[in-house]
Amino acid sequence: MIENIGVIGAGQMGSGIAQVCVLAGYNVFLSDVSPEALQKSLLHIDRDIERQVARNKVLAKEKEEALSRLHSFSGYEGFKKCQLVIEAVTENENIKESIFKELIPFLDSKCLLASNTSSISITALGRATDRPDKFMGMHFMNPVPVMQLVELIRGIATSNTTFNFIQEVVKRLGKQSAVSEDYPGFIVNRVLMPMINEAVYALFESVGTIESIDKAMRLGANHPMGPLELADLIGLDTCVSIMDVLYEGRGESKYKPCPLMVKYVEAGWLGRKAGRGFYDYKGEQPVSTR
Ligand SMILES: NC(=O)c1ccc[n+]([C@@H]2O[C@H](COP(=O)([O-])OP(=O)(O)OC[C@H]3O[C@@H](n4cnc5c(N)ncnc54)[C@H](O)[C@@H]3O)[C@@H](O)[C@H]2O)c1
């Protein structure tokens, strides 16, 4: 039975995962290497649940109880009592593998491990642990409290028991799952990310402005957000990392990240989380930058 869930990485995804888990009644242990990220995350979770209270989706008492189940810290000491730890740090294989190496001595031998990676091989990440049978992909969508789907990915060594336990967690969170095989980008990003990359190429080649590309896809393809707004929401660094994984894994030039998106990442214009990406978010309304 899973009651205590650890979350490593308190960025936009880790915060959202921690939030939905405490609201579903789990005790959550949230860790980040950066004290500022942790502080920002706790504030964000508090504000977001408060918004749900204002909309009568959560009772004030439930908010209080949920926040009392949330524990935050740096390092790995706090994960000892966890039956499941979900990793949600920066999309970089070396960083993720080195975190698993440091984390494992602190875990109970039965503890399950999941990665929220958008694209990296679950089989390779599982191999970096002492428990590939207890390891799998649990790919939440952004923003976690709003999006219904969690993509579930088995590594080649993932056991059925692990899969079933994690599928139960998804159900208790009130979310739906879709199962993907362990290939680059899984299902969602294999299809979504080349579209976003193509939208950046359309901007790069001056086919349209930022606003016209987003408007065209919102109204012309009935997408709730334009691809460039969505890229800003995901984080341009994450988008480039996913394209790199698709390019390396598939070996086809159509997966090469657009040079303009790479340039934005070099400039630190990472999207909403940095206050600027294709849009500038410093004012009340986002303003397009090209
Ligand atoms: N952004 C999205 O839309 C989205 C959607 C689904 C999955 N993901 C995946 O979720 C993961 C996190 O993405 P994000 O958007 O939350 O990124 P983010 O940049 O918002 O957050 C990453 C966090 O990881 C922390 N971190 C880095 N190194 C660490 C370490 N050694 N120990 C502990 N914490 C460390 C950082 O301080 C930061 O707070 C990535 O694997 C990404 O691919 C992202």
Band of residue 290 on the pLDDT scale cut at 50, 70, 90? confident
- The model's pLDDT over 76-124, given as tens digits with 9 standing for 90+, comes to 999 999 999 999 999 999 999 999 999 999 999 999 999 999 999 999 9
Probe ligand 1: pick from 89, 104, 116, 229, max atoms within 8 Å of CB? 89
Specify whether 145 is located in the same domain as 31: yes
Asked whether the predicted pLDDT for residue 276 surpasses 90, the reply is yes
Specify whether 244 is located in the same domain as 194: yes
How remote is the CA of residue 216 from the centroid of ligand 1, in Å?
A: 30
Average pLDDT over residues 147-173: 98
Band of residue 147 on the pLDDT scale cut at 50, 70, 90? very high
Is residue 253 situated within a structural domain?
yes
Q: Euclidean distance between the first and final Cα of the chain, in Å?
A: 52
What is the per-residue burial (b if ≥16 Cβ within 10 Å, else e) of 237-260?
bbbbbbbbbbbebeeeeebebbeb
Average pLDDT over residues 185-211: 98
- Could you tell me the CA-to-CA distances from 94 to 99, 112, 158, 202, 208 in Å, in that order? 9, 20, 21, 32, 37
Domain end residue (candidates: 180, 213, 247)? 180
Active-site amino acid positions:
118, 139, 151, 189
Is residue 290 situated within a structural domain?
no
92 CB near ligand 1 (under 6 Å): no
Is residue 112 situated within a structural domain?
yes
- The model's pLDDT over 212-266, given as tens digits with 9 standing for 90+, comes to 999 999 999 999 999 999 999 999 999 999 999 999 999 999 999 999 999 999 9
Is residue 288 situated within a structural domain?
no
Identify the CATH number of the domain in which residue 212 sits: 1.10.1040.50
Q: Which residue has the higher pLDDT, 164 or 1?
A: 164
Tell me how many domains the chain contains.
2
Is residue 81 situated within a structural domain?
yes
Which residue's alpha carbon is at the smallest distance from atom 6 of ligand 1? Answer: 141
Q: Ligand 1 atom closest to Cα of 273?
A: 20
How remote is the CA of residue 178 from the centroid of ligand 1, in Å?
A: 22
How remote is the CA of residue 239 from the centroid of ligand 1, in Å?
A: 12
Mean pLDDT of the chain: 97
Q: Taking the complete model, does pTM exceed 0.85, yes or no? A: yes
Band of residue 22 on the pLDDT scale cut at 50, 70, 90? very high
Average pLDDT over residues 26-52: 97
How remote is the CA of residue 208 from the centroid of ligand 1, in Å?
A: 31
pLDDT (0 to 100) of residue 192 = 98
Specify whether 54 is located in the same domain as 152: yes
Average pLDDT over residues 21-37: 97
- The model's pLDDT over 93-103, given as tens digits with 9 standing for 90+, comes to 999 999 999 99
Q: Ligand 1 atom closest to Cα of 270?
A: 19
Q: What domain range includes position 168? A: 4-180
Specify whether 195 is located in the same domain as 168: no
Is residue 75 situated within a structural domain?
yes
The percent of residues above 70 in pLDDT, for the chain, comes to 100
238 CB near ligand 1 (under 6 Å): yes
Q: Ligand 1 atom closest to Cα of 242?
A: 43
Identify the CATH number of the domain in which residue 137 sits: 3.40.50.720
Specify whether 160 is located in the same domain as 99: yes
Which residue's alpha carbon is at the smallest distance from atom 24 of ligand 1? Answer: 89
